[in-house]
Structure 1
Amino acid sequence: MKFIIWTPVYRDNSGGIIVLHKLASMLREAGRVTLIWPQPKPSFSELKTLRGWIKLANWFKFQLKNLATNRDIKSPYKLDIATNKDISGAVVVYPEITAGNPLGGSCVIRWLLNKPGVISGVTDFGSNDLFFYYHKHFNDWTINPHEDHHLRVSELKSDIYQNTNKAERSGQCYMVRKGRDRPLDYHEVGAQCVDGLSHEELSVIFNKCEYFICYDLYTMYCRYAVMCGCIPIVVPQEGLSKEEWRPEIQNRYGIAYGWDDVSWAVETRGKLLDYLAEEESRSIDSVDRFVAIVERYFADQLSVNSADDQR
């Protein structure tokens, strides 16, 4: 079984893009042929339109720009890029922001890395698509009623995020990201905005600040802050209780949901660090379960594709 992961070109500050590339890397390590289809590379079907040829021209310009800046579109995981010949017989994985089936794959998976429609407005899915969710909060139970279709992989970057400051801390930093439509009044005057900073830069700031105020309800950066000894405070959303925000208690460890929850964050920091120490094995188990479900669901189609490839 071959996988093609449809993904934007790797960006170090996008959690969704990171986990798409991480999934490809883990599938490859598990012995599965896995390739990526980086955006904005056009598919063969898109070249049937003028828009597709414009996209192709932009793709060539994009590659030239990356060569000039030494940017590796294969990402730090050194993933191989798919061609049109690879699509036949492959299982294609799209994030929920992708409309339709641009690669024309016969076996399609939608990975819900956010609630469908929230980021892109896209809810153009196929009737035979197989759905997986990253968090329960992101799942649409009307299109995916299967609780076991949970696919979660993590990139902890523990070589970067470490607590190197055991001394006294002070001050706040804050992050907006997907919380840009919310009132930005929870942090103190003079707090440093850390949106867009590199992981290395963030690690330094997290090791200086006492508090990390986060307007984005769901981001790995809160855990990165804990790994550096900083207390993350997620700005509560009106009408959303703590339990509704994070139903699984282990996903609340080390993180305060508002100022009144700071003592919880401090008291459970050790539990979060212990939980993260086991994250790699949980990710491997999650990917193994994902592959098993995919094989069962697409068994007939994969058998047909295999027979066609042998002709």
Structure 2
Amino acid sequence: MFAAWIRILLRAPKSVLWLIADNEQVRENLSLQAERLGVPRSRLFFADRVGPDAYLARYQVADLFLDTLPFNAGTTASDALWAGLPLLTCVGKTFAARMAGSLLLAAELPELITYNLQEYEDKAVELAESPDRISTLKKHLAETQKSCALFDSSRFVRELERLLQKKINELPVIHKINFSTTANLDYIQPLNTPIHLDTRIKNHTRRYVIVAPPYQHNSAGIRVLYDLQKWLVRSGLDAIVCTWFQGYPVDQFSEDIVIYPEVAPGNILNAKRIIRYILNIPGKLGFGENKYAENEILIAYNKELACYTNGVILQVPSIEPFFNDLNTDKKINAFYVGKGKNTNKHPENCIEITKTFPATRHDVADLLRSVKVLYTYDDFSMISQEAKLCGCDIKLINSSGEIVEYPDLSFPTFEEFKIQLNEFIEMTRNL
């Protein structure tokens, strides 16, 4: 680009090139290169950076803005045109090489758009030798400054509104809901419907805040956290799920009882009352630690994790009732890697179950009902119990590559869970 500018200077001997230079080395290198190509350094004028007012004022004493290629000026070009300085560009094929051309079309100056460097140089020389033409271009910019599309904000708003309205009109018609019905809607109760509770729950005033990632149906641990909130609310307690993120306003939780999963790092909500829900081996997943503060109450998800919590367990049900065996024909085998490592020890022609396949929980249940044997590399996963409920034979491929029987992970009955939940509430309600 600099070589093209030098050729323009050679063909327009009365012109000078005005450049921005942020350091002395750049100035010297460009000056030396100009001299090598036959242009004295006195025809290069370098300007330091200045404030906005002086920056715009400079444009008014120049005659022509020479654009760059392959990366056009954008905001700088718009500033120059607003200040009344004609701009010459050479367009390319990319977005960055066509920005200034778009601005010139909006400023009603298509004649300042060129399509190759030779045309660009010829046009620059022509304008350098035609002061009357430069004056005409500047007059055009001054007269159309507030009416051309480039600077007419009102027109832009109207055109945008018109396009948006056009798209709205193209949307399919949505049928209005009929609010007249004879159906019995008594089963739908408002959230403030009184719940008959015993004195213990009535006197409970603190809210439970369950810290959890965004909901994912294919993560048993996340489902458990969201289901815990449902059971606490169903028990008459105030409970919410908080999907924490960096910069979250945490002061609002100062008086709450905060429940962190073991994967959560430290005390991210600065809570005073902390329950740590151990859903997997501490420190194994996520960003969690394997040691916790002395004031934290530790609750294990199942008996396999109870060694970390002095035997305290709350095994929240998270398997839907549609995971069941309908005595369907079981003709296929499947394998699941999960948190394990795929060592390719499963038999051939197995269908792989992943985090994204099948797509929904119902689809997972439908597939498992057709699976004869599920081979899993994950020795601690809810899918094993889901497969068991659907009538599958479950095999574990351990870290040594051996295929063994999957360990029997016990699940409480609903009555046993109610006892666990009651003990949890009794333990935590007075924190």
Match of 1:70 in 2: none
CA contact (8 A) 1:115 1:137 kept: no
Unaligned 5+ segments in structure 1 are 46-83, 240-256, 266-271, 303-311
Q: CA deviation at 1:173?
A: 0.5
Cα offset for 1:164? 2.7
Deviations 1:252-299 (A, max 9, x none): xxxxx944x48x98xxxxxx9xx86x632222221111111224xxx4
* Deviation of the 1:117 alpha carbon: 0.7
Matches within 5 A, 1:60-99: 84-85=251-252, 87-99=253-265
Whether 1:211 and 2:345 are equivalent positions in the alignment is no
Deviation per CA, 1:139-171, whole angstroms, max 9, x where unpaired?
Answer: 554xx4x21x1111112211x22223444x223
Where 2:232 maps in the other structure, the secondary structure is: helix
Q: Secondary structure of the residue that 2:304 maps to in structure 1?
A: helix
Shift of 1:127: 2.6
Residue correspondence of structure 1 range 1-311 to structure 2 within 5 A:
1-40=206-245, 42-45=247-250, 84-85=251-252, 87-123=253-289, 125-139=292-306, 141=308, 144=309, 146-147=310-311, 149-158=312-321, 160-167=322-329, 169-179=330-340, 182-196=341-355, 197=358, 198-238=360-400, 258-259=403-404, 261=405, 279-295=413-429, 299=430, 302=431
- State the one-letter code of the partner of 2:378: D
One-letter identity of the residue aligned with 1:176: V
Measure, in 2, the Cα distance between the counterparts of 1:13 and 1:193.
Answer: 14
Counterpart of 2:3 in structure 1 is: none
User: What SS does the aligned partner of 2:371 have?
Assistant: coil
**Percent of counterpart pairs with the same letter?**
21
- Whichever residue aligns with residue 174 of structure 1, its letter is F
Shift of 1:136: 3.6
Give the number of equivalent residue pairs: 222
- Cα distance in 2 for residues equivalent to 1:24 and 1:13: 18
* Contact preservation (8 Å) 1:8, 1:40: no
Q: Looking at both structures, which has the greater relative contact order when contacts are Cα pairs under 8 Å and sequence separation is at least 6?
A: 1
TM-score (norm 2): 0.47
* Deviation for aligned residue 1:116: 1.0
**1-side partners of 2:247 and 2:346: how far apart?**
43
Per-residue deviation at 1:185?
2.4
Q: Is the 8 A contact 2:338 2:377 kept in 1?
A: yes
- Note the C-alpha offset of 1:175: 0.8
Q: 2 CA distance for matches of 1:139 and 1:282? A: 16
Q: Which amino acid aligns with 2:278?
A: L
TM-score (ref. length: structure 1): 0.64
Alpha-carbon distance, 1:183 to partner: 4.3
Distance 1:283 1:258 in 2: 32
Q: Is the 8 A contact 1:116 1:138 kept in 2?
A: no
The RMSD of aligned alpha carbons is 2.7
Contact 2:346 2:397 in 1 (8 A): no
* Inter-partner Cα distance in structure 2 for 1:288 and 1:236: 37
